[in-house]
Amino acid sequence: MSEAYDEFCRQIEVCASLTDLQAMGTARILVKEAGLDAKTATAAQLAVVASKLLPRQLEFLGVKRGDGVAAKIGAALSAAAPAAGAKSAPEAVFRRLGGNA
Amino acid sequence: MSVAAFEACATAVFILTGFAVGLRLLLLARRTREIPELALGGGLFLIVGIGYPIYLVAATAPGLSLEGARRLAILSTVCLNPGMLAVFVFTWRVFRPEARWAALLAACVGVALALLTVVRVQELASLQDRTTLLQPTDVLLIIYTLAGMSYLWSSVEAFLCHGRLRRQLALGLIEPVVANRVLLWATGSMFALLSDAPVLVAGLLRVPFEDLVTVRLMSSLAGLGCGAALYLAFFPPRFYLRRLAGREATA
């Protein structure tokens, strides 16, 4: 798993007061729904996932003020050191193949 | 326009596009030092840009001596087969970099192509009639099968990847042009397979490919489709980029 993904799981667990299993399950569902790969997902991508998909999932889990929690997680991910995007993800390769190296 | 003229035009477009895209990706690989661009650029350049046209010259150029045809056909073989391996390596490294079965498949194909190259070179060295270059032998049919497998695998993986990228696109996580490039590569690989398949089937059925006009037309059309997909993927014209951007804006 990417460092950003691990951080995403940790943030969900802490900020939404979920168990580690619930947090990992939530992250897994969201990453799949977003078409990302947990091994290559970046903090920037997961911040978008947190803002656009996480509120609904938190609501489903019965977490109060899910919007605020999701915004907090998104902000934490955005503030994290911007790790370089995975060079090996297919989308990164095809971006480079267009000449955007 | 006659079938032969259409075939010639389609072949020329296919070769020019493959040569240009292959060269461009090789130049990119020199800058980035990454395997995928080296593999794809090398594959396209060796197969479409060099190997295929040399083979056509060996088989059809008027006035070429038998010895000249032999040498060109051997040169073409040592370009085409490593090129095919490069496409396998590209698919493995881009879509299944951590899958052991994919690494094993690429390694097995590498060994098989090395052996087939040796056998095919021996076959060509004893060639007695250059017109038979267009008739697939058993060795050539196995090579065609491996070529078809490389296009099929790459196409399926790219289509699957595009399905995932569409979800990213909906969230604004990826640029439309990148997702579209993956789709075009999937489509182009499928066209390459469709262009290759009739030759393979005709060879397996021992039917002279030259006599199958409709099939030849379909094969040429598929080649043209492959060239068009490569062109749009790697040299997208402005109108095409505007259209992609417009589609995103209205989504």
Chain A residue with minimum CA distance to B29: A97
Residues of B in contact with A33 (CB under 8 A): 167
Chain A residue with minimum CA distance to B93: A88
Alpha-helical runs (H) found in chain A:
3-15, 20-33, 43-52, 54-60, 66-79, 90-97
Query: What's the rounded mean pLDDT across residues B244-248?
Result: 77
Percentage of chain A beyond pLDDT 70 is 92
Residues of B in contact with A36 (CB under 8 A): 164, 168, 173
Tokens standing for residue A10: 């940790």
pLDDT given for residue A82 in this prediction: 58
- The whole-angstrom distance between A78's CA and the closest CA on chain B is 14
Model pLDDT for residues A45-89, shown as the tens digit of each residue:
899 999 899 999 898 888 888 888 888 888 888 887 555 556 778
pLDDT given for residue B180 in this prediction: 96
Decide if the complex's ipTM is over 0.85. yes
Chain B residue with minimum CA distance to A88: B94
pLDDT at B59 over 70: yes
pLDDT at B7 over 90: no
Are B181 and A98 within 8 A, CB to CB?
yes
Tokens standing for residue B181: 């490039």
Tokens standing for residue B183: 């789709």
Place of tokens 């299944």: B96
- Rounded CA-CA distance B21/B42 in Å is 10
Tally of domains in chain B: 1
Contacts of B243 (CB under 8 A, 6+ apart): none
The string of DSSP letters for B38-81 reads: HHHHHHHIIIIIIIHHHHHHHHH-TT--HHHHHHHHHHHHHHHH
**pTM: predicted TM-score of the whole model, two decimal places:** 0.88
Interface A–B counts its CB contacts (< 8 A) at 76
Q: Range of B63's domain?
A: 3-243
Residue B129 lies in a domain: yes
Tokens standing for residue B199: 């030759």
Give the CATH number, domain containing residue B165: 1.20.1070
Residue B249 lies in a domain: no
Q: Which of B28, B181, B233 sits opposite A101 (nearest CB)?
A: B28
pLDDT given for residue A88 in this prediction: 77
Residue B90 lies in a domain: yes
Percentage of chain B beyond pLDDT 70 is 97
Cα A16 to Cα A53, A58, B72, distances in angstroms: 14, 8, 68
What is the band of A99 on the pLDDT scale with cuts at 50, 70, 90?
A: confident
Residue B110 lies in a domain: yes
Residue B250 lies in a domain: no
Residue B248 lies in a domain: no
Which of B26, B35, B38, B94 has the most A C-beta neighbours within 10 Å, making it the best mutation to test the interface with A? B94
Percentage of chain A beyond pLDDT 90 is 36
Residue B251 lies in a domain: no
- The whole-angstrom distance between B9's CA and the closest CA on chain A is 26
Residue B96 lies in a domain: yes
Confirm if B81 and B143 have CB atoms less than 8 A apart.
Answer: yes
Query: What's the rounded mean pLDDT across residues B202-214?
Result: 78
pLDDT at B165 over 70: yes
Residue B21 touches chain A, beta carbons under 8 Å: no
